[in-house]
C-alpha cells in the first residue's frame, strides 16, 4: 500500500511547504504512513527557512495515480492542486482559504479556519492533542506564519497567529523580529530572477463566473526593480494568457517595507479587474496603497466584480 501523500498547492510558498512537513511529522507520530511532497520548486524564502532549521526538501511530484490517498494542506481548489487530484482519495484537508471547486466521493476530516496561516491551525492541533513541539517543527511553523502574515503586517493576520508565532519563536530559540525580517528579505531579491521566475514565484489560478483568472504575487523591498522590466513582463505574461486561455493575469508586486503594491494587469478583462478597486490602469499598471494580501485584499474584490 502506497504512502498517504501530504502536499500544498502548486507554485508552493513557505506555508505550503512547511505545513506539509509539519503535518507529516504529526501523522507519522500517530502511526500513519505518510510522506510530505511538493508540487513545484521552492522559492528563496522557503529555502532559507528549511536550511535555517535543518529540514529536508520534500520530494517533487508531477501527478497522482488514480486512487492515491492524499492529505491537502493550505489549499482545496482542484485547479491549484496536483494533476490527477480528481481521481485521488482525499482523506483530510487543513486550510485557511475559501472553499471552491471541491467535492469528494466519501467523508473526510476537513478543517478550515479564518486564520492568517495554515501553520497556525496546525499549532492548535498540536496543542489540542497534547503533542510536544520540538525546535525544528516550531521553527517551520513560525516561518510559515511570518511568511503568510508578512511579519504581522497583513490584514489576514489574527491575534491567534501572532500569539502562536510568539510561542513558537521561544521554542525555536530565535528572535522573532530579527529572524522574520531576515527570512522575508531572503525571498525579496528579484535581480537574479528571470521574468518567468518572477511571475511563477507565487501564482494561483481562479475560476470566476466561468472565466479563468491568474493572480500572481511577489514580495520585494524595491518594486521598481520589477517594474523597470515592464516590457519583458508584458511579453511573458501575454504568452501565459494565450497559452492558458486566461481572461486576465494579475501580477501583484508587494513592497514588504511600505506595505503597498504595484499591480500589473493584462488580458481582455484587465479593465474589469481595475474596476474592482475603483482604479484605472495607466500603462497596464495601478497602485494599491496598503494592499499586501492576495487572499483578503485582492481576490475577494476581483471575485465580487466578476460575479456581478
Is 75 marked within a binding site?
no
Residue 67: strand pairing partners: none
Q: Which three cell numbers stand for residue 4?
A: 498517504
Please check whether residue 265 is in contact with residue 274, taking contact to mean a CB–CB distance below 8 angstroms: yes
Is 96 marked within a binding site?
yes
Q: Which three cell numbers stand for residue 181?
A: 525580517
What is the C-alpha separation between 225 and 235, in angstroms, rounded? 17
What is the C-alpha separation between 257 and 185, in angstroms, rounded? 10
Which residues contact residue 145 at a Cβ distance below 8 angstroms, ignoring those fewer than 6 apart? 15, 116, 117, 119, 120, 161, 164, 165, 168
Is 228 marked within a binding site?
no
Is 202 marked within a binding site?
no
Element (H, E) at 227: helix 223-227
Chain position carrying cell 508531477: 62
Binding region? 9, 13, 15, 74, 96, 148
Binding region for Mn(2+)? 9, 13, 15, 74, 96, 148
Amino acid at each position: 500500500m502506497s504512502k498517504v501523500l501530504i502536499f500544498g498547492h502548486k507554485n508552493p510558498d513557505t506555508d505550503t511547504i512547511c505545513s506539509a512537513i509539519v503535518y507529516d511529522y504529526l501523522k507519522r507520530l500517530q502511526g500513519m504512513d505518510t510522506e510530505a511532497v511538493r508540487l513545484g520548486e521552492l522559492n528563496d524564502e522557503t529555502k532559507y527557512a528549511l536550511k535555517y532549521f535543518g529540514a529536508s526538501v520534500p520530494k517533487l511530484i508531477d501527478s497522482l495515480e488514480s486512487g492515491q490517498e492524499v492529505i491537502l494542506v493550505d489549499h482545496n481548489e482542484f485547479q491549484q492542486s496536483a494533476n490527477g487530484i480528481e481521481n485521488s482519495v482525499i482523506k483530510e484537508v487543513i486550510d485557511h482559504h475559501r472553499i471552491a471547486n471541491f467535492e469528494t466521493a466519501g467523508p473526510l476530516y476537513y478543517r478550515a479556519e479564518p486564520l492568517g496561516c495554515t501553520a497556525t491551525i496546525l499549532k492548535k492541533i498540536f496543542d489540542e492533542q497534547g503533542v510536544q513541539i520540538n525546535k525544528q517543527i516550531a521553527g517551520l511553523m513560525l516561518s510559515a506564519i511570518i511568511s503568510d502574515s508578512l511579519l504581522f503586517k497583513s490584514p489576514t493576520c489574527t491575534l491567534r497567529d501572532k500569539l502562536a508565532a510568539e510561542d513558537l519563536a521561544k521554542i525555536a530559540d530565535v528572535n522573532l523580529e530579527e529572524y522574520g525580517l531576515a527570512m522575508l528579505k531572503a525571498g525579496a531579491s528579484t535581480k537574479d530572477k528571470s521574468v518567468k521566475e518572477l511571475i511563477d514565484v507565487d501564482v494561483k489560478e481562479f475560476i470566476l463566473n466561468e472565466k479563468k483568472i491568474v493572480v500572481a504575487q511577489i514580495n520585494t523591498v524595491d518594486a521598481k526593480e520589477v517594474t523597470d522590466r515592464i516590457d519583458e513582463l508584458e511579453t511573458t505574461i501575454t504568452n501565459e494568457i494565450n497559452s492558458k486561455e486566461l481572461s486576465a493575469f494579475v501580477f501583484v508586486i508587494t513592497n514588504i517595507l511600505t506595505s503597498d503594491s504595484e499591480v500589473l494587469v493584462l488580458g481582455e478583462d484587465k479593465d474589469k479587474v481595475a474596476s474592482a478597486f475603483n482604479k484605472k490602469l495607466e500603462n497596464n499598471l495601478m497602485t494599491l496603497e496598503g494592499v499586501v494580501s492576495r487572499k483578503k485584499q485582492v481576490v475577494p474584490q476581483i471575485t465580487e466584480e466578476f460575479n456581478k
